[in-house]
Chain A
Amino acid sequence: MENLAAPATKRLSIDDAIEHLKSSHPHAVKSDDREGYEGVIVDSDRLVEIARVIRDKLGFDYLSSATAVDYLGEGDHMEMVYHAYRSSGGGALVFKAQTDREAAQIPSLVSVWRGADFQEREAWDLYGIRFPGHPNLTRILMWEGFEGHPMRKDWREAYYEEEQKPFDSRWPGGHVHRAEEKNVFGKNVSYPPDIDLNRLMDTSDTAVYQSLGLGVDIERVMDKDGFETNELVVNMGPHHPSTHGVFRMVLTVDGETVTSLEPVMGYLHRNHEKIGERNTYLHNIPFTDRLDYISSMGNNHGYVLAVEQLMSLGRRYNPPTYRCEALRVMMVELSRIVNHLWAIGFWLNDIGAFFTPVLYFIQERERILDFFEAVAGSRMMCNYMRFGGLFGDLPERIKSVSNLTNDRVRDYNTMQFLTEMINERIPRTIDELELLLTQNEIVIERSMGVGVLGAEDAINFSAAGPLLRGSGVAYDIRRADPYSIYGELDFDVAVEQEGDMYARYRVRVTELRESVRILKQILPRLEATAGESIWADGKPGAYQPRVPHGESYGRVENGKGELGYYIVSAGGRGGSANPWRYHVRAPSFINLTPLGHMSKGHKVADIVGILGSIDIVLGETDR
């Protein structure tokens, strides 16, 4: 309805929208005509103004990703790249702002899209770009006081060996050593030469509290006695059973009521992107498994899509075969089922249904993991997808050979196993799930009206996945911007209007059913394509593919929301072997932006539920 009433500029195609921008801001906007790049480069002084035009006038109201790139040696500038979408669907308007490397500074877009908040903090933390106008520009993944901005191309880690893999020391003269043996301290550390050890204080924690604007004098609060409620700082995490990993929340509470909440993260920041830029393209696939380790298949999918987009710029490129796509979709949907079962189960743990539902769901998960193990070789870290293909076709039988005396052997026909799972077992589990929970009065009372996020807020906060759809925005990338074979599959986008915890639960349950519906359509497709090659070129891909220059943004609807990979291929002649920039738009990370907003006014006990209903996984949040 809104779309019909919208001005005509909101329905412009992306090319027309770019033309519109260029004509309305002739000096501030120019096309990005580097080879393989898209979108526009915006004069950074007028970025905020133009961003408002993009959001309000052109209708690109959803900022999917904002990330920095360091073009050291390739133009010697820093660049912020923004991908904006329309919440009604369609492709991206990419706009970029460039700045000098030394005094990197780009105006903050938090006033336009609050979803840019954490992403700009990340760019400050890892790239050292300042964002004037940002309300709280502090480090987010590393600690306050850390030396340097590690994602800059000239920053080197303590164990630095070479700029790019493969390292020369491994072959042919590969005399083994451990990296710590080469470090004076025997640890993964390096210190600046002017380190002052006499005045050494761990300021990381106090900095956290100060950055939150919590001028709370903890001493004073502790001195008070009596029953009067008092504003108090409560620290939850990083070791807390309900934070789903090493996540930390600092809340101020007035009595039991939360007045403000700040997520603190980075406790699992394992430098995915830095390592990813040292890696070759192929090396990154198993690393993506470890992002959202509940649904590794989805991570693989997003990454191979992004790299295939880049590869398609080259001369010789064959798209994946139909069977390959069908298998990919099947795997992704199965892992979505795993993901939602896990998410619902642990959310219930948080609101008090301690472990009964989880244990039921894990039983089903184990069956699906058995299948993954038989097909891809590992229960969790599947590493199944390749550029233009897959690790392998389905085995004929899910079969194991005993190699120890007390091993027990299983042997099932793969298709029969799948059919039974998809037609009987998984639907039965979902039925049980609904029977157990949907009408359960305790669940309803704990979750209805708690953690409300309105539709406009959800879009503005760049929320994704069930969090967005639970707020009444029917935005599912599988429909809004179809990839793979989702365009021809029949399924509905799950959407609920209320925007509370219960709505998110309902969205997940509906998505479980829709996933089963998709899987039921995949089965005959698999049977019809049996025998077809899973490789685009009919043979396995090369182990060191060269990827044409350019940028690409591959995004998929993962269980937790929109998972995007921004990849830049630069450097080297005739394509690159290693990504220049490898950025992960992590739904778990960006979905935390509205957490403070959603938590305000609720009780402490609801906070863990709200966090659980967002469904984060720390491997992806901190990367």
Chain B
Amino acid sequence: MDLNLQELNATEFPVPVELEDNIAITSLSQLYNWGRRNSMWPMLFGLACCAIEMIATASSRFDFSRFGFEVMRATPRQADLMIVSGTVTKKMVVPIVRLYNQMPEPKYVLAMGACASGGGPFKEGYNVVSGMDKYLPVDVYVPGCPPTPQALLYGMIALQRKIDGQSIANGDDVPWYGEGPAEPTPVPVLGPDIIDPRQMDMIRRQAEAAASEAGLLGQRELPAFTQLVAATAVATTAETTEAGPVDEDALSVVLPTGGTPWAEAEDIREKRRLRALARKALRATRRAAQTEGE
């Protein structure tokens, strides 16, 4: 495939048109991200029905190696991307979290299909996890049951856009360039039901509170919580949708072009650029102050 230098060009610094094919002025993190996003290696990791569509995407008709998702690695230690392709069950989430912990950073998670995103049609089942994001940070969600190969490719491109928007310099974007190794995600425990160690305190409190009452924990509706649900439930009446404040998210959903996920990536990038400019200005004033002082 041809190397397209223009996609590397940072927009702030214009390059003469006649040189566009030969020269690109870019930032280090953009160059780095460009390399990174074009060599994402997914983990060979199929859970359920979506895995079959993932294989179809990898095979010759759709061929995601065109995007640098070249080789599927069976070991997490060589993978950059975990495509959670299918229903995540409570029994399976334990190995999945372990696998995730074994992946080297930077690592990404793509939730493929309704099940991995939010439980899917099997959500009500007693052995089903309501979405991978209950246990791991998910970067891209691809809806569909199952998503067609093209939908998955779209999600992968969305992931690449997301990577493009990340900066090496900014710790908020990429937690893994902080100091020291990242904290591993605590592995859930299979007790009477699955137990997330992060929720241990809460479970304990609930157990104490419920000690007097009979019945299972977790099935009770908390009064405070139902209120919260009522408050946050998406505006249901016509009046509120008309009169309510304009929600950025809702707006981007309605607009045909604004709904694409990389509008958000653009947003992030824009914010970062502004922040960088502010930093630059600050440095300049500091330097000016310094010279004055001298």
- Which positions in A face B, CB cutoff 8 Å? 141-143, 145-147, 150, 156-161, 175-193, 195, 197, 200-204, 238-241, 245-246, 266-272, 274-275, 278, 286-287, 290, 293-294, 358-359, 362-363, 365-366, 369, 379-381, 618-619
State whether B217 touches A190 (Cβ < 8 A).
yes
State whether B218 touches A246 (Cβ < 8 A).
no
Q: Residue A274 contacts which of B125, B191, B228 (CB distance < 8 angstroms)?
A: B125
State whether A274 touches B189 (Cβ < 8 A).
no
Complex formed: what's the CA distance from A363 to B55 in Å? Answer: 12
* 19 A–B contacts, CB within 8 A, in A order: A142-B91, A145-B190, A157-B125, A175-B233, A182-B229, A187-B134, A190-B219, A191-B203, A197-B200, A203-B190, A246-B92, A268-B47, A270-B125, A270-B127, A271-B124, A275-B125, A278-B124, A380-B49, A380-B146
B214 within 8 A of A: yes
Complex formed: what's the CA distance from A145 to B193 in Å? Answer: 8
- Which positions in B face A, CB cutoff 8 Å? 44-49, 51-53, 55-56, 59-61, 74, 86-87, 89-92, 94-96, 99, 115, 118-119, 121-130, 134, 145-146, 148, 189-196, 199-200, 202-204, 206-207, 210-211, 213-222, 225-226, 228-230, 233-234, 236
Known A-B contacts: A182-B225, A185-B218, A245-B47. Give 18 more (CB < 8 A).
Answer: A150-B127, A178-B118, A179-B130, A184-B206, A185-B196, A187-B130, A188-B90, A193-B211, A193-B215, A193-B216, A245-B48, A266-B91, A267-B95, A270-B115, A271-B124, A271-B125, A290-B49, A362-B60
Rounded to whole Å, the gap between the CB of B248 and the closest CB of chain A is 20
Rounded to whole Å, the gap between the CB of B44 and the closest CB of chain A is 5
Q: Residue B46 contacts which of A197, A200, A245 (CB distance < 8 angstroms)?
A: A245
State whether B225 touches A181 (Cβ < 8 A).
yes
Given known pairs A175-B236, A271-B122, A380-B52, the reply for A190 and B218 (CB within 8 Å) is: yes
Contacts of B211 in A (CB 8 A): 193
State whether B229 touches A177 (Cβ < 8 A).
yes
Complex formed: what's the CA distance from A157 to B218 in Å? Answer: 10
State whether A293 touches B193 (Cβ < 8 A).
no
Rounded to whole Å, the gap between the CB of B54 and the closest CB of chain A is 12
Complex formed: what's the CA distance from A203 to B189 in Å? Answer: 9
Q: Residue A270 contacts which of B87, B200, B215 (CB distance < 8 angstroms)?
A: B87
Rounded to whole Å, the gap between the CB of B127 and the closest CB of chain A is 5
Complex formed: what's the CA distance from A287 to B124 in Å? Answer: 13
State whether B45 touches A204 (Cβ < 8 A).
no
Complex formed: what's the CA distance from A241 to B71 in Å? Answer: 13
Rounded to whole Å, the gap between the CB of B257 and the closest CB of chain A is 13
State whether A159 touches B48 (Cβ < 8 A).
no
Rounded to whole Å, the gap between the CB of B47 and the closest CB of chain A is 6
Contacts of A619 in B (CB 8 A): 48-49
Complex formed: what's the CA distance from A365 to B149 in Å? Answer: 14
Contacts of A365 in B (CB 8 A): 56
Given known pairs A182-B225, A268-B86, A270-B127, the reply for A188 and B119 (CB within 8 Å) is: yes
Given known pairs A193-B211, A202-B189, the reply for A287 and B121 (CB within 8 Å) is: yes
Rounded to whole Å, the gap between the CB of A372 and the closest CB of chain B is 12
Contacts of B119 in A (CB 8 A): 179, 188
Contacts of A159 in B (CB 8 A): 123-124
Residue on B nearest A184 in the bound complex, by CB: B218
